[in-house]
Structure 1
Amino acid sequence: MIELLTPQEVERARPAGRFVGDTLQALRERIRVGTNLLEIDEWAARMIEARAAVSCYVDYAPSFGRGPFGHVICTSVNDAVLHGLPHDYALQQGDLLSLDLAVSVDGWVADAAVTFSVGGWACEGDRRMVEATERALEAAIRVARAGNRVGDLSHAVSRVLSGAGYRVNTDFGGHGVGSTMHQDPHVPNQGRPGTGPRLRPGMLLAIEPWVMADTDQLTVDDDGWTLRSRTGARAAHSEHTVAITTGDPVVLTRPSGA
């Protein structure tokens, strides 16, 4: 079922989006070469506690994982692209790090992800790949309007990613959010315009383009969670939570001042 929020409920969801966006920005600014992934998880946990918010990940135990997840943030490094389980690893110069955070504030969920290079870009290919996911995300946001369809969002994502030379995996993609983290509709990163559920005011969608440098095939770590490229190629992931309104789309998870 697709959850539709009233305009008042969308307003009440804004603090969750702001918190997620600001937390990811604060973590990004704090992370340095030598930062341990478990430190990042601890920092995020303290921020969540200070806000009296609730992590959507700690008790998360879907059928595809080996749950519960047990941490508050996903930390995916280099060839890991999704659901990276924080572990004892100190980040190195040029590591490509994706942070994915979903939190409930006052009963409303927001979900976002960023990818960046630690201590400077290791290669131009990393920068281009991250920028491709960011451009794909913005392209999807531009068509996230009432009356359009989910396939329009998916097509906008795939047009950018495929146009940049990347293969697109459709096993995992975006999704609805609201009072819970994962809801209908599924928002794949590839699709045909004019297909899928129609976008309606009050829908909250987590749109999340992700790619791997030279493949669309995944493998799963022994931890049962971390998804990596099958070839060992590096990967990137960008995500925002977007509210469908009667007018322009509203990106709830942009950091304050962005």
Structure 2
Amino acid sequence: MINIKTAREIELMKNAGRLVGETLKLLESQIRPGISTLALDKIAEEFIMEHGAIPSFKNYNGFPGSICASVNHVVIHGIPSKAVILKEGDIISVDCGALLQGFHGDAARTFRVGQVSEEADRLIKITEESFFKGLEQAKVGQHLGDISAAIQKHIESNGFSVVRDFTGHGIGRDLHEAPSIPNYGTALRGPKLRAGMALAIEPMVNVGLYHVKVLEDNWTTVTRDGKLSAHYENTVIITEDGPLITTLL
């Protein structure tokens, strides 16, 4: 069942989303060659807790970090580590969630570490653009498949591939709620969008093939061909006046 949020619940979700956006902005200012992903994790955790919230990911099904820090060919769920040191030319996808006043915000960005390759730069750009192509369809009366199809079309028309094994999701009191939101699919399919739906829309895009594998830690997910991957996500509320992004400052 897809939960429909009340006006009061939407206000609380906006607060949680704003904190996630602020956390990602803070991390962006700290990302540089020589910093470890564990150091970034500690910065995020302290900032979230200083604002009276709890990191959504910490201990979620046993995940050890407060953020997911996924470098280069890591697609999602990279575990923060003092052994992973960022270097010039890397890209890092940071996924961040916060639980505030009973509701979650969830967002992800892929950041450049110094100067990156033309290919990496274009991957990040197209991944972000694909989210906004999907957002154009996030209106009352449209179908969930309209979002998925728009994302897939933009990604594939630019020569990249869409990860199939993981999807976006509903969000609210729980970090993951119905419905699942694939980043590929067919327009005019799936449930109709209604005001009050809260969706975490999150394209995951690969330079090479879309196939991924999960490593032995049961979290870290990498591209099978070892090529770069990028991730872009926001929490979106469907309203009568159009989509409201809670996690974008």
What is the TM-score of this pair, normalised by structure 2?
0.97
**d(CA) in 2 for partners of 1:75, 1:112:** 13
Q: Following TM superposition, by how much is the alpha carbon of 1:222 offset from its aligned partner in structure 2, in angstroms?
A: 2.3
**d(CA) in 1 for partners of 2:34, 2:215:** 23
Q: Following TM superposition, by how much is the alpha carbon of 1:212 offset from its aligned partner in structure 2, in angstroms?
A: 1.2
User: Where do residues 114-125 of structure 1 align in structure 2 (5 Å cutoff)?
Assistant: 114-121=109-116, 123-125=117-119
SS across alignment from 2:169: strand
**d(CA) in 1 for partners of 2:155, 2:183:** 9
**d(CA) in 2 for partners of 1:169, 1:57:** 21
Equivalent position to 2:248, from 240, 244, 254? 254
Deviating beyond 6 angstroms after TM superposition, the runs of 4 or more aligned structure 1 residues are none
User: Where do residues 169-208 of structure 1 align in structure 2 (5 Å cutoff)?
Assistant: 169-208=163-202
In structure 2, the partner of 1:147 is: 141
Q: Does 1:168 align with 2:170?
A: no
Q: Following TM superposition, by how much is the alpha carbon of 1:57 offset from its aligned partner in structure 2, in angstroms?
A: 1.1
Q: Deviations over 1:44-73 (max 9, x none)?
A: 110111011012211211xxxxxx001110
In structure 2, the partner of 1:19 is: 19
Contact 2:143–2:191 (CA under 8 A) maintained in structure 1: yes
**d(CA) in 1 for partners of 2:207, 2:147:** 22
**d(CA) in 2 for partners of 1:168, 1:45:** 30
User: Where do residues 2-151 of structure 1 align in structure 2 (5 Å cutoff)?
Assistant: 2-61=2-61, 68-87=62-81, 88-121=83-116, 123-151=117-145
Provide the aligned C-alpha RMSD in A.
0.9
Q: Any unmatched runs of 5+ in structure 2?
A: none
Q: Deviations over 1:87-141 (max 9, x none)?
A: 12111111110000011111111110000210121x1110111111111001111
In structure 2, the partner of 1:65 is: none
In structure 2, the partner of 1:218 is: 212
Aligned amino acid, residue 60 of structure 1? Y
Q: Following TM superposition, by how much is the alpha carbon of 1:8 offset from its aligned partner in structure 2, in angstroms?
A: 2.1
Aligned length: 248
Q: Following TM superposition, by how much is the alpha carbon of 1:167 offset from its aligned partner in structure 2, in angstroms?
A: 2.1
In structure 2, the partner of 1:156 is: 150
Contact 2:31–2:113 (CA under 8 A) maintained in structure 1: yes
Q: Percent identity between the aligned chains?
A: 38
Contact 2:53–2:100 (CA under 8 A) maintained in structure 1: yes
Aligned amino acid, residue 48 of structure 1? I
**d(CA) in 2 for partners of 1:106, 1:176:** 18
Contact 2:213–2:224 (CA under 8 A) maintained in structure 1: yes
Aligned amino acid, residue 28 of structure 1? E
Q: Does 1:244 align with 2:238?
A: yes
Contact 2:137–2:146 (CA under 8 A) maintained in structure 1: yes
**d(CA) in 1 for partners of 2:119, 2:128:** 14
**d(CA) in 2 for partners of 1:254, 1:230:** 31
Contact 2:49–2:55 (CA under 8 A) maintained in structure 1: no
**d(CA) in 1 for partners of 2:67, 2:143:** 30
Of residues 161-170 and 21-30 in structure 1, the stretch that sits farther from structure 2 once superposed is 161-170
Aligned amino acid, residue 117 of structure 1? R
